[in-house]
Amino acid sequence: MIKPKLPKWENVRPILEQKFYEAGIAYCELKYEGCAGNTLFTVGFAHSRKSKYWKNSEHVSEVIKADTNCHRKLENLGKIKMEQEVRRIISERRNPVN
């Protein structure tokens, strides 16, 4: 099976950074125990799926902001729960990222 050509993360990331900035989201959206909050040096993007499981361009940009500690805990939830958690956060946002 041939995998569809997906946009490269390094091309999508700056666009998402701008969209998250416009939505006012510069902090960890997970806020698990041990969260560093909004320390800019530790907050990055967490995807709903690991890159080896991206099947379409939506998976590349289905992200939330997460600090290093929360991102690690999210990934330890496992494939299905990780995707569910990211989608839950996205659906509950006050300021959607468009």
Q: What is the pLDDT along the chain (98 residues), one digit of tens a residue?
A: 555 677 888 888 999 999 999 999 989 999 999 888 776 668 999 999 888 888 877 878 899 999 999 999 999 999 999 999 999 999 999 988 98
> DSSP string spanning 5-62?
P---HHHHHHHHHHHHHHHT--S-SS--TT--TT-TTTEEEEESS-GGG--SHHHHH-
The burial of 56, by beta-carbon neighbours within 10 Å (0-12 exposed, 13-18 middle, 19 or more buried), is given as exposed
Angle at 85 between CA 21 and CA 1, to 5 degrees: 95
Residue 60 contacts residue 9 (beta carbons within 8 Å): yes
Give the separation between CA 12 and CA 7, rounded to whole angstroms. Answer: 7
pLDDT at residue 55, rounded to an integer: 82
User: Residue type at 65?
Assistant: K
